[in-house]
Amino acid sequence: MKKLSESYRTVKCGVLRESDVGSEVKLCGWVQNWRDHGGLVFIDIRDRTGITQIVFDPDVDREIFDKANTLRCEFVIAVEGKVRPRLEGNTNPKLDTGAIEVLVSGLRLLSVSDNPPFEPNEYRHVGEETRLTYRYIDIRRPRLQKALEMRHKAMTAVREFLNSLDFLEVETPILTKSTPEGARDYLVPSRVHPGKFFALPQSPQMFKQLLMVGGVDRYYQICRCFRDEDLRADRQPEFTQIDIEMSFVDKEDIYALAEELMSSIFKTCLDIDIETPFPRMNYSEAMERYGTDKPDTRFGMELHTITDIVKESEFKVFRSAIEAGGVIKSMVVKGGADISRKDIDGLTDYIGDFGAKGLAWMKMNEGELQSSIAKFFTAEIKKQLIRECSIEEGDIIFIVADRKQVANASLDALRRKTARDRNLVPEGVYNFLWVDEFPLFFYNEDEKRYESEHHPFTGIHEEDIPLLDDDPLKVRSLSYDIVLNGYELGSGSIRIHRSEIQEKVFRLLSLSEEDIRTRFGFFVDALRFGTPPHGGIAPGFDRIVMLLMGTDNIRDVIAFPKTQKASCLMTGAPGRVDPDQLRDLRLKSTEDGEQ
């Protein structure tokens, strides 16, 4: 009996080379294109490994030649024939198989194709909406197939690395209980328990901690997670993360493990040696220097707080912002004096989307800071600005006066956009960074309550525990983010492993005793039965592959992604369900007047 791989083909389309000349081969794949040159028919046949040129000659077999004339793009065919070198001058150096072709002696038509809405040609521009609607055709594109291959290689590297360190891969529930923290849950109604709902997991957080309580010691899972939140180019409602948890560890153990893991992935997938250990920066420093907790450190243009320098100026905008409790922050673009007034107006509009009410600027020309606002600053203030911000001839300084959050967000956005627009971001550079020392809480002014900066299971510096009673906003968490080129790859922390601390944190989050028992009772109880110190991290797998592939759109590396409106254009999901299904679940829909 023939091997399964030989029943249709003996070799794949992208692997033939000059060393195969003279071999009899069988190929299967899709017709990429069709050409008639001087009585010979040339077809490029494609599978996921690449393309081979095949040739039909009427002198070899007239019937096969005539049949070849009926083939069209995206027909699926099987051929057999002999590998031969291409004629001199007809080689294609852009193809790995460009030095050879196959003279066909046998042909089978396996499947016909309607005219596709687009041809899966790497060099054709097709709108994303069309590509997502016909994703099964889009997947035929070499770029997307390379992305799926990259996912496979990265996933294999993760498993091999963690398996070698005695981790156990353990699956945790998909149908679980809704919790009040984080993004909105996707809810699943229960038919067996009317009026009750499961939730799809935003992460396996509590389950992996319970595995530590259970003595599993080293756990990992490449798991699917679900969050009902507003989407961006680097987010999806369902996503994959590398979930890791370990017992008897501190932050340094997690850092070392994650750095080795990332090194293994990049070596396997890109043959790149990542430099370790990764640099570290605490949260306060990151916000001060970059305006974000996930800074892109591949380029400069760091921010400067200049409140103390300009507070005595006569510029009312600055003085009003300071009197309202705001800050004045700046960013210098080296050589940016060539930025036109029209472009500055465009940048002002751009940062308005991040809350900024305006953008002040001055250019360094002939040794002087010049702009319409320069007259409001004394010579001494200008001198201090030049010194503090390292302004040189031909530079421009941008300044935002607002609440600290707005100033940081708008200048962070301006910094990234300016770097892109001025080609300041080096290609092929991977700058990893640890950001740590996050505050445990932030205060929600709208709801007048504390909320978790990360999640309510995050551990606390031992010396900060008394601050839970005295000044919760000063409590530093034992959390950390791993950042790559301005993207947060994943968050982690050393966890709370003492039940009394966990309950105190829940209470500070305005959860009543009843809330704690109802929502987290099983978890708090588990912490009372001998819980080891433990911690972990959960890098986002899709985002890692996105960066490996050099794209900024996570949909480019997921086989069947959702749109930014959390819908699937191909299947039409989400969609309405049969009324009988709703009745089984004891549910009613009020949309469009339905009762």
Per DSSP, the three-state class of 245 is strand
Whether 493 has a pLDDT exceeding 80, the answer reads yes
pLDDT number for residue 592: 55
Whether 400 has a pLDDT exceeding 80, the answer reads yes
Q: Which residues of 492-522 are buried (b: 16+ CB within 10 A; e: fewer)?
A: bbbbbbebeebbbbbebbebeeeebeebbee
Whether 122 has a pLDDT exceeding 90, the answer reads no
- Phi/psi zone of residue 271: left (φ > 0), alpha (ψ -120 to 50 degrees), beta? left
**Beta-bridge partner residues of 40:** 37
pLDDT number for residue 594: 47
User: Which two structure tokens, joined as six digits, stand for 52?
Assistant: 């081979």
Whether 4 has a pLDDT exceeding 50, the answer reads no
Q: Name all domains of the chain by residue range, CATH numbers in brackets.
A: 4-111 (2.40.50.140), 145-281+433-557 (3.30.930.10), 299-425 (3.30.1360.30)
Bridge-based pairing state of the strands 280-282 and 100-111:
unpaired
How far is residue 244's CA from residue 221's CA, in Å, rounded to a whole number? 7
Q: Per-residue DSSP letters for 292-350? A: SSS--TTS---EEE-HHHHTTSS-HHHHHHHHTT-EEEEEEETTGGG--HHHHHHHHHH
pTM: 0.92
- Give the pLDDT confidence of 435-467 residue by residue, as tens digits: 999 999 988 888 888 989 888 999 999 999 999
Q: How far apart are the first and last CA of the chain?
A: 62
CA torsion, ordered 150, 154, 157, 159, to nearest 10 deg: -130
Do 78 and 107 meet the contact criterion of CB atoms below 8 Å apart?
yes
Phi, psi of 81 (to 5 degrees): 175, -170
C-alpha 354 chain-centroid distance: 21
Whether 336 has a pLDDT exceeding 90, the answer reads yes
How far is residue 53's CA from residue 91's CA, in Å, rounded to a whole number? 10
Per DSSP, the three-state class of 201 is coil
Amino acid at 555: R
- Give the pLDDT confidence of 339-350 residue by residue, as tens digits: 999 999 999 999
- % of the chain surpassing 70 pLDDT: 97
How far is residue 327's CA from residue 82's CA, in Å, rounded to a whole number? 74
pLDDT number for residue 6: 62
- Give the pLDDT confidence of 503-528 residue by residue, as tens digits: 999 999 998 999 889 889 999 999 99
pLDDT number for residue 308: 95
Whether 232 has a pLDDT exceeding 80, the answer reads no
CA torsion, ordered 148, 565, 236, 292, to nearest 10 deg: 120
pLDDT number for residue 179: 73
Amino acid at 52: T
User: Which two structure tokens, joined as six digits, stand for 31?
Assistant: 């017709």
- Give the pLDDT confidence of 251-280 residue by residue, as tens digits: 999 999 999 999 999 999 999 999 999 999
Whether 5 has a pLDDT exceeding 90, the answer reads no
Residue 279 DSSP code: P
pLDDT number for residue 104: 96
Banded model confidence at residue 14, pLDDT cuts 50, 70, 90: very high
**Beta-bridge partner residues of 241:** 223, 540
Identify the residue with better confidence: 454 or 162.
Answer: 162
Rg of the chain over all Cα atoms, to the nearest angstrom:
30
How far is residue 338's CA from residue 340's CA, in Å, rounded to a whole number? 6
pLDDT number for residue 191: 93
How far is residue 218's CA from residue 240's CA, in Å, rounded to a whole number? 20
Query: Range with the lowest mean pLDDT among 180-194, 269-283, 336-350, 412-426?
Result: 180-194
Average pLDDT over residues 316-334: 95
Q: How many residues does the chain have?
A: 595
User: Which two structure tokens, joined as six digits, stand for 433?
Assistant: 């960074």
pLDDT number for residue 441: 92
Angle between the 541-548 and 251-270 helix axes, to the nearest 10 degrees? 40
pLDDT number for residue 595: 41
Residue 384 DSSP code: H
User: Which two structure tokens, joined as six digits, stand for 412?
Assistant: 């962070």
Whether 181 has a pLDDT exceeding 90, the answer reads no
